[in-house]
Amino acid sequence: MPPVPAILAIDVGGTTIKAEVASGDGVLAAGRCPTPKGEHALAAARDLGATLIAEAAASGVVVQAAGVVVPGIVDAARGTAVYSSNIGWDNLAVTGPLSAEWGIPVRLGHDVIAAGHAEYLTGAGRGAADVAFVAIGTGIAAALIVGGRVLDGNGAAQPGEIGHVVVRPGGPECGCGNRGCLEAVASAAAIARAYERATGEPAAGALAVFRAAEGDPRARVVIEAATVALADGLAVLTTLLAPERIVLGGGLAEAGAALLDPVAKALAGRVRVQPSPGLVTARHGERAGIVGAALLGQSMLP
Amino acid sequence: MPPVPAILAIDVGGTTIKAEVASGDGVLAAGRCPTPKGEHALAAARDLGATLIAEAAASGVVVQAAGVVVPGIVDAARGTAVYSSNIGWDNLAVTGPLSAEWGIPVRLGHDVIAAGHAEYLTGAGRGAADVAFVAIGTGIAAALIVGGRVLDGNGAAQPGEIGHVVVRPGGPECGCGNRGCLEAVASAAAIARAYERATGEPAAGALAVFRAAEGDPRARVVIEAATVALADGLAVLTTLLAPERIVLGGGLAEAGAALLDPVAKALAGRVRVQPSPGLVTARHGERAGIVGAALLGQSMLP
């Protein structure tokens, strides 16, 4: 049997590194491990990738290229992870060492931008030319596609930091040092914190607060505050960039209609000088980053 | 003597239509007239252009192409002025009738986007790849250049409506129907209104309030509120789009350092997750729109 060509895709998240080997036929192998801090994260990704490549080879699959996505500031052209406050690296060469170790071409990208690109090309953003993908998890960040082009930054800065748009001046403190940033009010982490403050009880994550809102008025108040703040943030994005469609992704998008409906309603009431964008949830869900990494890997094939 | 080739540039503003005939040697003829309402604005621009073309011809200058810029929503590809609340037209064909009347190719553009393009190519934005041009006059709007490309909309919507980003939730009413929009707080018109409210005296325009701020504490308070709000709006823009440089234009930019210094100071204190952009005033001043129109006209030359 001839060898099956495949791509290695790795998504280095703040807490977990996820990896897949995939071909046109689907996912052939997958693995994950916790994300160590600093440069150790790169070593962990390297070892996880090497393991999957070896596993694939044992079953007659040849991995021909790899895509790796990471958070923070990324210099894709130089293949360098410039900065990540979560992981704690600083100007770390990524593609050179990984390519040398794995013996295949490697392309680096930004996790949210790669995820947005995946939704745009193969997911819930398909068919629109102006799309914003907004990932809502521990933090909130966006990938912006304008006129069919992904705005992917210049190596020193990345567009799309919607989580740090101030929507509640004087509001809750944000990790960035400002107050009232969107992610300090409406991220999954912020929703869980707000529920704990309101009830004195621990929240089993933001999705649990969404589920509780059905019967618990305290949870309902928390969800309403968060969804209205999200609409405020998306209204700013819409006013500045006029996307036709906004795709909500990240862990919070798993809430589905319970998230989408109130945000869409509040957004429609706020957007005045631009057409109201369509609001949908991501198709690839939590896998959007790894699908984006696979697209980056594919782009390295001859 | 051989005929001198030249371009006709027309800037249809909310109150005045300005026109110039220019060649490589500079402005050869210029004219202006008040802007009538609705479709009459197009007729006035047509007649003003025809007059300048005839004047030019009389002195041996041949106008070979024209660029026309208008406010509102513009469909540049179809040559149609889609919508303008100020002028009051609705899906008005522009380039077809003007081209037929003048006998030359005509290209249509959006006034602020054309002005931003002019600053980017030949003015205060030169040399940067990621530039935001923010025009502050009766209203506030931006032209966004990302990775060397002008984001010019899709014919149904234009990016850059920074004047309608809400920076003061629950603040002053805006013409758009929302409250606390940047242009309801920090446009030239809003500054003059705020001074009149604070003092009971008429303001001779926003620039007069800037000049008065030197000795008049009431004017100083008004200017401080407006410049801090501007910094809030520019911080949102920077957080979302990470421009290297922001060029302030429009009538208010004539205030120079009295505007630039407090806005730059407040902006530097607000931008956390992106590099702080350079802040400069426009080079072409009030002529940026017409310089942009001339660039559009030039692009029609064979």
What is the pLDDT at residue B138? 87
Q: What is the CA radius of gyration of chain A?
A: 20
Same domain, yes or no: A30 and A85: yes
With respect to residue B117, please indicate whether it lies within any of the assigned structural domains: no
Q: What tens digit of pLDDT does each residue of A83-121 get?
A: 887 788 989 999 999 999 999 999 999 999 999 999 999
Token pair recorded at residue A215: 């019967």
Of B146, B239, B242, the CB nearest to A165: B239
On whether both A224 and A158 belong to a single domain, the answer is yes
Give the pair of three-digit tokens for residue B197. Answer: 């409210």
> Smallest CA–CA separation between B74 and chain A, in Å?
13
CATH code for position A75? 3.30.420.40
User: How many structural domains is chain A composed of?
Assistant: 2
Looking at the fold, whether A249 and A292 belong to one and the same domain comes out as no
Inter-chain contact B151–A147, Cβ cutoff 8 Å?
Answer: yes
Cβ-contact A199, A205 below 8 angstroms: no
Partner residue facing A239 (CB), from B161, B177, B270: B161
Distance in Å, alpha carbon of B265 to nearest chain A alpha carbon: 16
The yes-or-no verdict on residue B86 having pLDDT over 90 is no
Any domain includes B115:
no
Residues B105 and B128 in one domain: no
Mean pLDDT estimate for chain B: 94
pLDDT tens across A112-156, in order? 999 999 999 999 999 999 999 999 998 999 999 999 999 988 888
User: By the 8 A CB rule, do A145 and A130 touch?
Assistant: yes
Confidence band (pLDDT; 50, 70, 90) for B51?
very high
Mean pLDDT (whole number) for B195-211: 95
Q: Give the sheet arrangement for strand A245-249, strand by strand.
A: A149-150, A140-146, A131-136, A245-249, A278-281
Strand order in the sheet with A89-93: A73-75, A80-84, A89-93
B161: nearest CB among A156, A158, A273: A273
How confident is the model over A217-274, as pLDDT tens digits? 999 999 999 999 999 999 999 999 999 999 999 999 999 999 999 999 999 999 999 9
Q: Do A146 and B142 touch (CB under 8 A)?
A: no
| Residue B227 resides in a domain | yes
Q: Copy the structure tokens of residue A242.
A: 């006029």
CB B178 within 8 A of CB B54: no
| Rounded-to-integer distance, Cα A273 and Cα B92, Å | 19
Residue A120 within a domain: no
Partner-chain contact B272 A160, CB within 8 Å: no
3-state DSSP call for residue A165?
Answer: coil
Nearest Cα to B69, choosing from B141, B12, B140? B12
Q: Is the dihedral of CA A55, A56, A60, A62 positive or negative?
A: negative
Q: Which of A144, A158, A242 sits opposite B157 (nearest CB)?
A: A242
Residues on chain A bordering chain B, Cβ-to-Cβ distance under 8 angstroms: 129-130, 142, 144, 146-147, 149, 151, 153-154, 156-162, 164-166, 168-169, 176-178, 232, 235-237, 239-242, 244, 270, 272-275
B155 with B263, same domain? yes
User: Is residue B181 within 8 Å of B165, Cβ to Cβ?
Assistant: yes
In this structure, the answer to whether residues A263 and A142 fall within a common structural domain is: yes
Residue A292 shares a structural domain with residue A271:
no
Same domain, residue pair B151 and B200: yes
What pLDDT is recorded for position B1? 61
Which of A151, A273, A274, A276 is the mutation pick for testing B, counting most B CBs within 10 A?
Answer: A273
How confident is the model at residue B222, as a pLDDT? 97
Pairing mode of beta strands A149-150, B4-12 = unpaired
Say whether pLDDT at A35 is over 70: yes
Amino acid at A240: L
Strand partners, A30: A20
Share of chain A above pLDDT 70, in %: 99
Give the per-residue pLDDT at A1: 61
The arithmetic mean of pLDDT across residues B100-117, rounded, is 97
Q: Which residues of B touch A147 (CB under 8 A)?
A: 149, 151, 154
Of the candidates B157, B168, B240, the beta carbon closest to that of A274 is on B157
Distance of CA A298 to the CA centre of its chain: 19
Helix (H) or strand (E) holding A3: none
Examine the domain organization and report whether A198 and A102 are in the same domain.
no
Determine what percent of chain A is predicted with pLDDT higher than 90: 87
Percent of chain B with pLDDT over 70: 99
Q: Quick one: three-class SS letters along A57-96?
A: HHCCEEEEEEEEEECCEEECCCCEEEEECCCCEEEEECHH
Residue B231, domain member (yes or no): yes
Read off the pLDDT of residues B252-262 as tens digits, 9 standing for 90 and up.
999 999 999 99
Mark out chain B residues that contact chain A at CB-CB < 8 A.
129-130, 142, 144, 146-147, 149, 151, 153-154, 156-162, 164-166, 168-169, 176-178, 232, 235-237, 239-242, 244, 270, 272-275
Are A278 and A294 in the same domain? no
Full residue range of the structural domain in which residue B67 is found:
4-110+287-298
Q: Which of A166, A176, A242 has its CB closest to that of B153?
A: A242
Per-residue confidence (pLDDT) for residue A300, from 0 to 100: 92
- A82, A166: one domain: no
DSSP collapsed to 3 states, chain B: CCCEEEEEEEEECCCEEEEEEEECCEEEEEEEEECCCCCHHHHHHHHHHHHHHHHHHHCCEEEEEEEEEECCEEECCCCEEEEECCCCEEEEECHHHHHHHHCCCEEEEEHHHHHHHHHHHHCCCCCCCCEEEEEECCCEEEEEEECCEECCCCCCCCCCCHHHCECCCCCCECCCCCECEHHHHHCHHHHHHHHHHHHCCCCCCHHHHHHHCCCCHHHHHHHHHHHHHHHHHHHHHHHHHCCCEEEEECHHHHHCHHHHHHHHHHHHHHCCCCCCCEEEECCCHHHHHHHHHHHHHHCCCC
What is the C-alpha to C-alpha distance for residues B223 and B209, in angstroms, rounded to an integer?
Answer: 7
CA distance A301 to B81: 45
**pLDDT value of position B153:** 83
B88/B154 same-domain check: no
For B58, residues 6+ apart whose C-beta sits below 8 A from its C-beta are none
Rounded to an integer, the average pLDDT of A182-186 is 96
CB contact under 8 A, A275 and B158: no
User: Taking 90 as the threshold, does the pLDDT of residue B24 lie above it?
Assistant: no
* Average pLDDT in chain A: 94
A232 Cα to chain B: minimum distance (Å): 9
Q: Which residues is B89 bridged to in the sheet? A: B84
Outline where DSSP puts E strands in chain A.
Answer: 4-12, 16-23, 26-34, 61-70, 73-75, 80-84, 89-93, 106-110, 131-136, 140-146, 149-150, 245-249, 278-281
List all residues 6 or more positions away from B249 whose beta carbon is below 8 Å from its beta carbon.
B115, B116, B119, B133, B134, B135, B136, B281, B282, B284, B285, B288
CB contact under 8 A, A164 and B129: no
The amino acid that residue A144 corresponds to is L
**Which ipTM score applies to this complex?**
0.93
- Is the residue at B167 inside a domain? yes
Task: State whether B240 and A244 contact (CB < 8 Å).
Answer: no
Residues of A in contact with B131 (CB under 8 A): none
How many residues are listed for chain B in this entry? Answer: 302
What sign does the dihedral B132-B280-B174-B74 (CA atoms) show? negative
